[in-house]
Amino acid sequence: MKKLIALLLCASMALGMAACTSSGKQDPTDAPATDAPATDGPATDAPDGEKVEITYSYWGTPDEAASVQEVADKYNAENPGVHVTVMAIPNEEYVTKLNTMAVAKELPDCGIMNEGGVLDFAAKGLLADISSMYEGADSMPLDSITFKSEGQPVAYSAANEILFLYYNKDMFDAAGVEYPSATEPMTWDEFVNTAKLLTLDANGNNATSADFDANSIVQYGCNVDNWTWQLEVWALSNGGRWFSEDGKECTINSPEVAESIQKVADLYLVDHVAPYRPGLEDSGIQSTIAAGNVAMATGGTWNVGTCMNTAEFEYGVARLPVMKNEVTICTGGPQVVFSQSKHPQEAMDFIKWYMQEENSWDSLIATGIWMPILEEYYTDEALTHKWVDNPNFPAYEEFKPAVVDYAMEKAVSTCWYYIPHTNEFIEYLRGILGPVWTGEQTAADVLADGYETLNSIFLDN
Protein backbone atom coordinates (compact mmCIF):
# COMPACT_ATOMS: atom_id res chain seq x y z
CA MET A 1 0.00 0.00 0.00
CA LYS A 2 2.77 2.39 0.96
CA LYS A 3 4.41 1.65 -2.37
CA LEU A 4 1.18 2.46 -4.16
CA ILE A 5 0.87 5.79 -2.38
CA ALA A 6 4.49 6.60 -3.07
CA LEU A 7 3.98 5.79 -6.74
CA LEU A 8 0.87 7.92 -6.93
CA LEU A 9 2.68 10.83 -5.29
CA CYS A 10 5.64 10.51 -7.62
CA ALA A 11 3.35 10.43 -10.64
CA SER A 12 1.49 13.52 -9.54
CA MET A 13 4.78 15.33 -8.84
CA ALA A 14 6.05 14.47 -12.30
CA LEU A 15 2.80 15.70 -13.85
CA GLY A 16 2.99 18.89 -11.83
CA MET A 17 6.58 19.50 -12.88
CA ALA A 18 5.65 19.03 -16.51
CA ALA A 19 2.77 21.46 -16.12
CA CYS A 20 4.99 24.04 -14.43
CA THR A 21 7.67 23.91 -17.11
CA SER A 22 7.82 27.02 -19.28
CA SER A 23 6.29 26.76 -22.71
CA GLY A 24 9.74 27.15 -24.17
CA LYS A 25 9.73 30.79 -25.19
CA GLN A 26 13.11 32.13 -26.09
CA ASP A 27 15.01 33.79 -23.26
CA PRO A 28 15.36 37.47 -24.24
CA THR A 29 18.89 37.56 -22.96
CA ASP A 30 19.87 34.77 -25.29
CA ALA A 31 19.37 37.16 -28.14
CA PRO A 32 21.38 40.35 -28.53
CA ALA A 33 19.48 43.59 -27.91
CA THR A 34 19.94 44.55 -31.52
CA ASP A 35 17.96 41.67 -32.96
CA ALA A 36 15.04 43.76 -34.20
CA PRO A 37 14.89 43.55 -37.94
CA ALA A 38 15.84 46.55 -40.01
CA THR A 39 13.03 48.80 -41.11
CA ASP A 40 12.68 47.17 -44.48
CA GLY A 41 13.18 43.58 -43.31
CA PRO A 42 10.64 40.80 -43.48
CA ALA A 43 7.72 41.95 -41.42
CA THR A 44 6.33 38.95 -39.64
CA ASP A 45 6.42 35.27 -38.95
CA ALA A 46 2.62 35.12 -39.01
CA PRO A 47 1.14 32.87 -41.64
CA ASP A 48 -0.12 34.58 -44.78
CA GLY A 49 -3.52 36.16 -44.47
CA GLU A 50 -3.48 36.18 -40.69
CA LYS A 51 -3.42 39.40 -38.74
CA VAL A 52 -0.37 40.15 -36.62
CA GLU A 53 -1.53 40.68 -33.06
CA ILE A 54 0.36 43.41 -31.19
CA THR A 55 -0.16 44.21 -27.53
CA TYR A 56 0.62 47.74 -26.38
CA SER A 57 0.86 48.39 -22.64
CA TYR A 58 -0.08 51.72 -21.19
CA TRP A 59 -0.41 53.15 -17.71
CA GLY A 60 -3.54 54.93 -16.77
CA THR A 61 -7.14 54.68 -15.74
CA PRO A 62 -9.68 52.63 -17.73
CA ASP A 63 -10.96 55.94 -19.20
CA GLU A 64 -7.49 56.88 -20.42
CA ALA A 65 -7.02 53.37 -21.79
CA ALA A 66 -10.27 53.68 -23.72
CA SER A 67 -9.01 56.85 -25.39
CA VAL A 68 -5.70 55.15 -26.22
CA GLN A 69 -7.61 52.16 -27.64
CA GLU A 70 -9.48 54.62 -29.90
CA VAL A 71 -6.13 55.78 -31.28
CA ALA A 72 -5.03 52.16 -31.72
CA ASP A 73 -8.28 51.40 -33.53
CA LYS A 74 -7.49 54.19 -35.97
CA TYR A 75 -4.15 52.47 -36.65
CA ASN A 76 -5.89 49.10 -36.99
CA ALA A 77 -8.24 50.57 -39.58
CA GLU A 78 -5.31 52.00 -41.59
CA ASN A 79 -3.27 48.77 -41.32
CA PRO A 80 -5.45 45.77 -42.05
CA GLY A 81 -2.59 43.30 -41.51
CA VAL A 82 -2.04 44.33 -37.89
CA HIS A 83 -4.26 44.46 -34.86
CA VAL A 84 -3.12 46.45 -31.83
CA THR A 85 -4.73 45.83 -28.45
CA VAL A 86 -4.15 48.22 -25.55
CA MET A 87 -3.36 46.67 -22.18
CA ALA A 88 -4.12 49.18 -19.39
CA ILE A 89 -2.15 48.81 -16.17
CA PRO A 90 -2.72 51.20 -13.26
CA ASN A 91 0.17 53.64 -12.99
CA GLU A 92 1.23 52.65 -9.46
CA GLU A 93 1.51 48.98 -10.45
CA TYR A 94 3.18 49.56 -13.79
CA VAL A 95 6.80 48.80 -12.88
CA THR A 96 5.77 45.84 -10.74
CA LYS A 97 3.71 44.36 -13.53
CA LEU A 98 6.40 44.82 -16.20
CA ASN A 99 9.07 43.28 -13.95
CA THR A 100 6.84 40.29 -13.30
CA MET A 101 5.93 39.89 -16.97
CA ALA A 102 9.61 40.07 -17.92
CA VAL A 103 10.36 37.14 -15.61
CA ALA A 104 7.43 35.16 -17.01
CA LYS A 105 8.67 36.07 -20.53
CA GLU A 106 5.25 37.51 -21.21
CA LEU A 107 6.07 41.16 -21.83
CA PRO A 108 3.78 42.91 -24.31
CA ASP A 109 5.15 43.66 -27.77
CA CYS A 110 5.52 47.33 -27.05
CA GLY A 111 4.42 49.90 -24.53
CA ILE A 112 5.12 53.02 -22.60
CA MET A 113 7.82 52.60 -20.00
CA ASN A 114 8.46 54.29 -16.68
CA GLU A 115 11.44 56.58 -17.02
CA GLY A 116 13.40 55.24 -14.05
CA GLY A 117 13.37 51.70 -15.43
CA VAL A 118 14.45 52.38 -19.03
CA LEU A 119 18.22 52.08 -18.67
CA ASP A 120 17.90 49.04 -16.36
CA PHE A 121 15.62 47.30 -18.87
CA ALA A 122 18.04 48.20 -21.67
CA ALA A 123 20.97 46.78 -19.65
CA LYS A 124 19.09 43.51 -19.17
CA GLY A 125 18.52 43.22 -22.92
CA LEU A 126 14.77 43.61 -22.57
CA LEU A 127 14.46 46.49 -25.06
CA ALA A 128 14.67 46.01 -28.81
CA ASP A 129 16.87 48.34 -30.83
CA ILE A 130 14.89 51.30 -32.17
CA SER A 131 17.79 53.37 -33.45
CA SER A 132 16.37 53.19 -36.98
CA MET A 133 13.13 54.88 -35.95
CA TYR A 134 14.11 58.42 -37.00
CA GLU A 135 16.60 57.56 -39.74
CA GLY A 136 16.45 60.23 -42.43
CA ALA A 137 13.68 62.21 -40.65
CA ASP A 138 13.52 66.03 -41.03
CA SER A 139 12.73 66.76 -37.38
CA MET A 140 14.18 64.69 -34.55
CA PRO A 141 12.88 64.35 -30.99
CA LEU A 142 14.52 66.84 -28.62
CA ASP A 143 17.90 65.66 -27.38
CA SER A 144 16.90 66.38 -23.77
CA ILE A 145 14.25 63.65 -23.90
CA THR A 146 16.40 60.93 -25.48
CA PHE A 147 17.46 58.10 -23.13
CA LYS A 148 21.12 57.28 -23.60
CA SER A 149 23.27 54.41 -22.47
CA GLU A 150 26.96 55.17 -22.91
CA GLY A 151 26.02 57.99 -25.25
CA GLN A 152 23.86 55.82 -27.52
CA PRO A 153 20.09 56.45 -27.79
CA VAL A 154 18.05 53.54 -26.38
CA ALA A 155 14.60 55.15 -26.22
CA TYR A 156 12.76 58.37 -27.02
CA SER A 157 10.20 59.91 -24.69
CA ALA A 158 6.68 59.94 -26.09
CA ALA A 159 6.08 63.36 -24.63
CA ASN A 160 8.08 66.30 -23.36
CA GLU A 161 6.97 67.25 -19.87
CA ILE A 162 8.55 70.04 -17.83
CA LEU A 163 7.99 71.44 -14.35
CA PHE A 164 6.66 74.95 -13.86
CA LEU A 165 4.44 77.00 -11.54
CA TYR A 166 0.63 77.07 -11.54
CA TYR A 167 -1.22 79.82 -9.68
CA ASN A 168 -4.82 80.56 -8.77
CA LYS A 169 -5.68 84.00 -10.20
CA ASP A 170 -8.78 84.34 -8.00
CA MET A 171 -6.66 84.04 -4.84
CA PHE A 172 -4.16 86.59 -6.14
CA ASP A 173 -7.03 89.00 -6.96
CA ALA A 174 -8.62 88.52 -3.54
CA ALA A 175 -5.31 89.27 -1.79
CA GLY A 176 -4.52 92.18 -4.11
CA VAL A 177 -1.20 90.62 -5.11
CA GLU A 178 0.30 91.04 -8.59
CA TYR A 179 0.36 87.90 -10.78
CA PRO A 180 3.75 86.22 -11.29
CA SER A 181 5.38 87.21 -14.59
CA ALA A 182 5.29 84.68 -17.44
CA THR A 183 8.74 85.75 -18.64
CA GLU A 184 10.67 86.89 -15.57
CA PRO A 185 10.77 84.26 -12.83
CA MET A 186 10.65 85.23 -9.15
CA THR A 187 13.72 84.82 -6.98
CA TRP A 188 13.24 82.29 -4.18
CA ASP A 189 12.88 85.09 -1.60
CA GLU A 190 10.27 86.89 -3.71
CA PHE A 191 8.43 83.60 -4.05
CA VAL A 192 8.39 83.05 -0.26
CA ASN A 193 7.25 86.63 0.35
CA THR A 194 4.45 86.30 -2.21
CA ALA A 195 3.42 83.02 -0.58
CA LYS A 196 3.26 84.76 2.81
CA LEU A 197 0.82 87.34 1.43
CA LEU A 198 -1.38 84.51 0.16
CA THR A 199 -1.32 82.34 3.31
CA LEU A 200 -4.39 83.08 5.43
CA ASP A 201 -5.50 81.91 8.86
CA ALA A 202 -9.10 81.44 10.00
CA ASN A 203 -9.34 85.11 10.96
CA GLY A 204 -8.19 86.30 7.54
CA ASN A 205 -4.68 87.35 8.68
CA ASN A 206 -1.88 86.64 6.21
CA ALA A 207 1.49 85.17 7.19
CA THR A 208 3.14 88.61 7.37
CA SER A 209 0.72 89.76 10.09
CA ALA A 210 1.73 89.76 13.78
CA ASP A 211 -1.67 88.20 14.63
CA PHE A 212 -1.22 85.32 12.16
CA ASP A 213 -2.06 81.94 13.74
CA ALA A 214 -0.09 79.13 12.07
CA ASN A 215 -2.34 76.52 13.70
CA SER A 216 -5.51 77.66 11.96
CA ILE A 217 -4.39 78.11 8.35
CA VAL A 218 -7.27 77.88 5.86
CA GLN A 219 -5.35 78.84 2.71
CA TYR A 220 -1.68 78.15 1.97
CA GLY A 221 0.42 80.40 -0.25
CA CYS A 222 2.30 77.67 -2.06
CA ASN A 223 3.17 74.04 -2.46
CA VAL A 224 6.54 73.05 -3.89
CA ASP A 225 6.06 69.40 -4.73
CA ASN A 226 8.43 67.21 -2.70
CA TRP A 227 7.66 64.04 -4.71
CA THR A 228 11.26 62.91 -4.71
CA TRP A 229 12.33 63.00 -8.36
CA GLN A 230 11.07 66.57 -8.72
CA LEU A 231 13.55 67.75 -6.08
CA GLU A 232 16.36 67.43 -8.62
CA VAL A 233 15.27 70.69 -10.22
CA TRP A 234 15.94 72.61 -6.97
CA ALA A 235 19.44 71.15 -6.70
CA LEU A 236 20.15 72.44 -10.22
CA SER A 237 18.50 75.76 -9.43
CA ASN A 238 20.74 76.13 -6.36
CA GLY A 239 23.92 75.38 -8.33
CA GLY A 240 24.25 71.72 -7.28
CA ARG A 241 23.76 68.40 -9.04
CA TRP A 242 22.64 64.93 -7.93
CA PHE A 243 25.13 63.44 -10.41
CA SER A 244 28.06 64.85 -12.30
CA GLU A 245 27.29 65.97 -15.83
CA ASP A 246 29.09 62.99 -17.37
CA GLY A 247 27.05 60.64 -15.16
CA LYS A 248 30.14 59.11 -13.57
CA GLU A 249 29.85 60.44 -10.03
CA CYS A 250 27.11 60.83 -7.43
CA THR A 251 27.35 64.37 -6.07
CA ILE A 252 24.18 64.53 -4.00
CA ASN A 253 26.20 65.17 -0.83
CA SER A 254 27.12 68.70 -1.90
CA PRO A 255 26.04 71.61 0.35
CA GLU A 256 24.07 73.15 -2.55
CA VAL A 257 21.84 70.07 -2.83
CA ALA A 258 21.22 69.94 0.93
CA GLU A 259 20.41 73.65 1.01
CA SER A 260 17.98 73.33 -1.90
CA ILE A 261 16.03 70.55 -0.15
CA GLN A 262 16.06 72.40 3.16
CA LYS A 263 14.60 75.50 1.48
CA VAL A 264 11.69 73.43 0.19
CA ALA A 265 11.15 71.87 3.66
CA ASP A 266 11.33 75.27 5.37
CA LEU A 267 8.31 76.52 3.42
CA TYR A 268 6.28 74.38 5.83
CA LEU A 269 8.59 74.19 8.85
CA VAL A 270 9.74 77.81 9.16
CA ASP A 271 7.65 80.06 6.93
CA HIS A 272 4.28 78.25 7.43
CA VAL A 273 3.33 79.06 3.84
CA ALA A 274 2.97 75.47 2.57
CA PRO A 275 0.95 72.49 3.81
CA TYR A 276 2.80 69.52 5.31
CA ARG A 277 3.35 66.88 2.66
CA PRO A 278 5.22 63.66 3.39
CA GLY A 279 6.50 63.34 -0.20
CA LEU A 280 5.09 59.84 -0.48
CA GLU A 281 2.75 60.15 -3.41
CA ASP A 282 2.37 61.87 -6.72
CA SER A 283 -0.61 64.06 -5.87
CA GLY A 284 0.98 67.44 -5.26
CA ILE A 285 -1.27 69.34 -7.67
CA GLN A 286 -4.48 67.39 -7.10
CA SER A 287 -4.49 67.80 -3.33
CA THR A 288 -3.28 71.40 -3.25
CA ILE A 289 -4.01 73.99 -5.93
CA ALA A 290 -6.61 71.89 -7.76
CA ALA A 291 -8.36 71.20 -4.44
CA GLY A 292 -8.64 74.97 -3.97
CA ASN A 293 -6.62 75.38 -0.78
CA VAL A 294 -3.25 76.57 -2.15
CA ALA A 295 -2.50 79.68 -4.26
CA MET A 296 0.67 78.56 -6.13
CA ALA A 297 1.91 75.04 -6.80
CA THR A 298 4.70 73.51 -8.82
CA GLY A 299 3.67 70.76 -11.19
CA GLY A 300 4.21 69.19 -14.56
CA THR A 301 2.78 70.04 -17.95
CA TRP A 302 0.68 66.84 -17.83
CA ASN A 303 -1.37 68.43 -15.05
CA VAL A 304 -2.86 70.85 -17.60
CA GLY A 305 -4.77 67.90 -19.00
CA THR A 306 -5.14 65.68 -15.94
CA CYS A 307 -6.74 68.13 -13.52
CA MET A 308 -6.18 71.86 -14.10
CA ASN A 309 -8.42 71.99 -17.20
CA THR A 310 -11.39 71.16 -14.97
CA ALA A 311 -10.43 73.59 -12.17
CA GLU A 312 -13.31 75.78 -11.03
CA PHE A 313 -11.13 78.90 -10.91
CA GLU A 314 -9.01 80.78 -13.39
CA TYR A 315 -5.42 79.70 -13.24
CA GLY A 316 -2.21 81.09 -14.67
CA VAL A 317 1.24 79.65 -15.39
CA ALA A 318 4.73 80.99 -14.68
CA ARG A 319 8.33 79.80 -14.65
CA LEU A 320 9.69 78.19 -11.50
CA PRO A 321 11.20 80.52 -8.91
CA VAL A 322 14.98 80.75 -9.04
CA MET A 323 17.40 79.90 -6.22
CA LYS A 324 20.58 80.73 -8.18
CA ASN A 325 20.10 79.44 -11.77
CA GLU A 326 17.02 79.58 -13.96
CA VAL A 327 16.30 75.96 -14.85
CA THR A 328 13.61 73.34 -15.13
CA ILE A 329 13.76 69.59 -15.77
CA CYS A 330 12.03 67.64 -18.51
CA THR A 331 10.87 64.07 -18.66
CA GLY A 332 8.38 61.78 -20.38
CA GLY A 333 7.76 58.05 -20.48
CA PRO A 334 9.26 56.56 -23.66
CA GLN A 335 7.53 54.21 -26.08
CA VAL A 336 9.62 51.07 -26.35
CA VAL A 337 9.59 47.75 -28.16
CA PHE A 338 10.29 44.85 -25.83
CA SER A 339 12.82 42.32 -27.05
CA GLN A 340 10.52 39.43 -26.10
CA SER A 341 8.16 40.50 -28.92
CA LYS A 342 7.71 38.08 -31.79
CA HIS A 343 6.82 40.99 -34.06
CA PRO A 344 9.33 43.75 -33.25
CA GLN A 345 9.04 45.36 -36.67
CA GLU A 346 5.25 45.78 -36.51
CA ALA A 347 5.55 46.93 -32.89
CA MET A 348 8.10 49.59 -33.85
CA ASP A 349 5.99 50.72 -36.80
CA PHE A 350 3.05 51.18 -34.45
CA ILE A 351 4.89 53.19 -31.82
CA LYS A 352 6.53 55.35 -34.45
CA TRP A 353 3.09 56.06 -35.88
CA TYR A 354 1.70 56.65 -32.40
CA MET A 355 4.48 59.06 -31.46
CA GLN A 356 3.70 61.27 -34.44
CA GLU A 357 1.90 64.21 -32.90
CA GLU A 358 -1.02 64.19 -35.34
CA ASN A 359 -1.95 60.63 -34.37
CA SER A 360 -2.21 61.24 -30.66
CA TRP A 361 -3.45 64.79 -31.13
CA ASP A 362 -7.04 64.62 -29.86
CA SER A 363 -6.46 62.24 -26.97
CA LEU A 364 -3.17 63.48 -25.57
CA ILE A 365 -1.71 66.66 -27.09
CA ALA A 366 -4.86 68.80 -27.42
CA THR A 367 -6.07 67.72 -24.00
CA GLY A 368 -2.87 69.03 -22.42
CA ILE A 369 -1.58 65.68 -21.12
CA TRP A 370 1.42 65.49 -23.47
CA MET A 371 3.64 68.16 -24.98
CA PRO A 372 4.98 67.42 -28.48
CA ILE A 373 8.43 65.84 -28.84
CA LEU A 374 9.52 67.25 -32.19
CA GLU A 375 11.52 70.44 -32.09
CA GLU A 376 9.42 72.15 -34.79
CA TYR A 377 6.43 72.42 -32.44
CA TYR A 378 8.50 74.70 -30.22
CA THR A 379 10.29 76.74 -32.88
CA ASP A 380 7.63 77.12 -35.59
CA GLU A 381 5.05 79.58 -34.23
CA ALA A 382 2.28 78.32 -36.54
CA LEU A 383 2.69 74.81 -35.12
CA THR A 384 2.85 76.15 -31.55
CA HIS A 385 -0.43 77.98 -32.15
CA LYS A 386 -1.95 74.81 -33.52
CA TRP A 387 -1.03 73.04 -30.29
CA VAL A 388 -1.62 75.66 -27.59
CA ASP A 389 -4.61 77.60 -28.97
CA ASN A 390 -7.33 75.46 -27.48
CA PRO A 391 -9.69 75.74 -24.52
CA ASN A 392 -7.74 73.23 -22.42
CA PHE A 393 -4.76 75.58 -22.15
CA PRO A 394 -4.26 78.96 -20.46
CA ALA A 395 -3.95 81.98 -22.80
CA TYR A 396 -1.36 81.57 -25.57
CA GLU A 397 0.55 84.75 -24.66
CA GLU A 398 1.01 83.38 -21.13
CA PHE A 399 1.66 79.73 -21.94
CA LYS A 400 4.13 80.41 -24.78
CA PRO A 401 6.79 82.25 -22.70
CA ALA A 402 6.10 80.47 -19.39
CA VAL A 403 6.08 76.93 -20.76
CA VAL A 404 6.89 76.52 -24.48
CA ASP A 405 9.89 78.86 -24.55
CA TYR A 406 10.88 77.77 -21.04
CA ALA A 407 11.02 74.15 -22.27
CA MET A 408 13.27 75.11 -25.19
CA GLU A 409 15.55 77.51 -23.34
CA LYS A 410 15.91 76.22 -19.80
CA ALA A 411 14.93 72.55 -19.63
CA VAL A 412 17.59 69.93 -18.87
CA SER A 413 17.17 66.17 -18.74
CA THR A 414 16.06 64.53 -15.51
CA CYS A 415 18.80 62.21 -14.24
CA TRP A 416 17.09 59.00 -15.41
CA TYR A 417 17.91 59.84 -19.03
CA TYR A 418 21.56 59.00 -18.42
CA ILE A 419 21.85 57.38 -14.93
CA PRO A 420 20.83 53.74 -14.30
CA HIS A 421 19.16 52.38 -11.12
CA THR A 422 17.34 55.65 -10.48
CA ASN A 423 14.18 53.84 -9.26
CA GLU A 424 16.16 52.32 -6.41
CA PHE A 425 18.14 55.51 -5.80
CA ILE A 426 15.03 57.69 -5.59
CA GLU A 427 13.22 55.15 -3.40
CA TYR A 428 16.05 55.26 -0.86
CA LEU A 429 16.28 59.04 -1.06
CA ARG A 430 12.52 59.31 -0.50
CA GLY A 431 12.90 57.20 2.63
CA ILE A 432 15.70 59.18 4.21
CA LEU A 433 14.09 62.53 3.41
CA GLY A 434 10.98 61.70 5.49
CA PRO A 435 12.37 63.21 8.73
CA VAL A 436 13.40 66.36 6.82
CA TRP A 437 9.79 67.18 5.93
CA THR A 438 8.71 66.76 9.57
CA GLY A 439 11.67 68.77 10.86
CA GLU A 440 13.11 65.87 12.85
CA GLN A 441 16.40 66.06 10.91
CA THR A 442 18.05 68.53 8.54
CA ALA A 443 18.62 67.80 4.86
CA ALA A 444 22.38 68.22 5.37
CA ASP A 445 22.40 65.55 8.11
CA VAL A 446 20.35 62.95 6.24
CA LEU A 447 22.36 63.40 3.04
CA ALA A 448 25.63 63.11 4.95
CA ASP A 449 24.41 59.94 6.71
CA GLY A 450 22.79 58.44 3.61
CA TYR A 451 25.46 59.28 1.05
CA GLU A 452 27.37 56.02 1.37
CA THR A 453 24.25 53.98 0.61
CA LEU A 454 23.09 56.32 -2.15
CA ASN A 455 26.50 56.08 -3.76
CA SER A 456 26.54 52.31 -3.50
CA ILE A 457 23.10 52.12 -5.16
CA PHE A 458 24.42 54.42 -7.89
CA LEU A 459 27.45 52.16 -8.37
CA ASP A 460 25.23 49.04 -8.07
CA ASN A 461 27.46 47.57 -5.37
Partner 1 sequence: MSTTKTSVKQQRAALRKAARNNKLLRSENRAAYILLIPSIIGLIFLTYVPLVEVLGLSLFDWRGVGTPNFVGLGNYIRLFTKDPYFVDSIKVTIFYSILAVFGSIIYSFIVALLLNRKIPARGFFRALFYLPYVLPAMAVYLGWNWLYETNYGLFNYLLSLIGVDKVMFIASKDMVVPSLALIAIWLSGNLIVIFLAGLQNVPRVYQEAAEIDGANAWNRFWNITVPCMTPIIFYNLIMSLVTNLQVVTPALALTNGGPGNSSRFISYVMYQYAFKDGKFSYACAISFVLFLLIAAFSSLLFLSSSSWVYSEGGND
From the CB of 204, what's the least distance to partner 1, in Å?
Answer: 17
Q: Please say which residue, 156 or 220, places its beta carbon nearer to partner 1.
A: 220
From the CB of 11, what's the least distance to partner 1, in Å?
Answer: 10
Phi, psi for residue 232 in degrees, rounded to 5: -60, -35
Q: Please say which residue, 21 or 215, places its beta carbon nearer to partner 1.
A: 215
**String of b and e for 299-327 (b: at least 16 CB within 10 Å)?**
bbbbbbbbbbbebeeebbbbbbbbbeebb
Residue 433 backbone class (left: φ over 0; alpha: ψ -120 to 50; beta: rest): alpha
Residue type, 229: W
Distance CA 89, CA 214 (A): 41
C-alpha dihedral, 274 to 278 to 282 to 284, nearest 10°: -10
DSSP E strands: which ranges in 152-206? 152-157, 161-168, 200-201
Characterize the bridge pairing of strands 152-157 and 146-149. antiparallel
* Of 410, 398, 78, 428, residue with least CA distance to 242: 428
Q: What is the DSSP letter of 24?
A: -
Backbone CA torsion sign across 97, 100, 106, 110: positive
Q: Please say which residue, 98 or 402, places its beta carbon nearer to partner 1.
A: 98
From the CB of 97, what's the least distance to partner 1, in Å?
Answer: 8
Q: Please say which residue, 118 or 322, places its beta carbon nearer to partner 1.
A: 118
Contacts within 8 Å (CB) and 24+ apart, 426-434: 426/116, 426/228, 426/229, 428/453, 428/454, 428/457, 429/228, 429/252, 429/454, 430/228, 430/279, 430/280, 433/226, 433/228, 433/231, 433/261, 433/279, 434/278, 434/279
Q: Please say which residue, 288 or 345, places its beta carbon nearer to partner 1.
A: 288
Non-local CB neighbours of 142 within 8 Å, separated by 6+ positions: 160, 330, 373, 374, 375, 378
C-alpha dihedral, 351 to 352 to 353 to 355, nearest 10°: 80
From the CB of 222, what's the least distance to partner 1, in Å?
Answer: 14
Q: Please say which residue, 18 or 77, places its beta carbon nearer to partner 1.
A: 18
Q: Please say which residue, 81 or 439, places its beta carbon nearer to partner 1.
A: 439
Q: Please say which residue, 227 or 315, places its beta carbon nearer to partner 1.
A: 227
Interface residues with partner 1 (CB under 8 A)?
A: 1, 5, 8-9, 12-13, 16, 27-29, 95-96, 99-100, 102-103, 120, 124-126, 215-216, 275-276, 278-281, 293, 423-424, 427-428, 430-435, 437-438, 440, 450, 453, 456
From the CB of 338, what's the least distance to partner 1, in Å?
Answer: 11
How many Å separate Cα 106 from the centre of its chain?
Answer: 24
From the CB of 216, what's the least distance to partner 1, in Å?
Answer: 7
From the CB of 27, what's the least distance to partner 1, in Å?
Answer: 7
From the CB of 273, what's the least distance to partner 1, in Å?
Answer: 13
DSSP E strands: which ranges in 310-380? 315-318, 328-331, 334-337
Residue 60 backbone class (left: φ over 0; alpha: ψ -120 to 50; beta: rest): left
Distance CA 286, CA 293 (A): 10
Q: Please say which residue, 238 or 423, places its beta carbon nearer to partner 1.
A: 423
From the CB of 453, what's the least distance to partner 1, in Å?
Answer: 4
From the CB of 393, what's the least distance to partner 1, in Å?
Answer: 30
Q: Please say which residue, 404 or 432, places its beta carbon nearer to partner 1.
A: 432
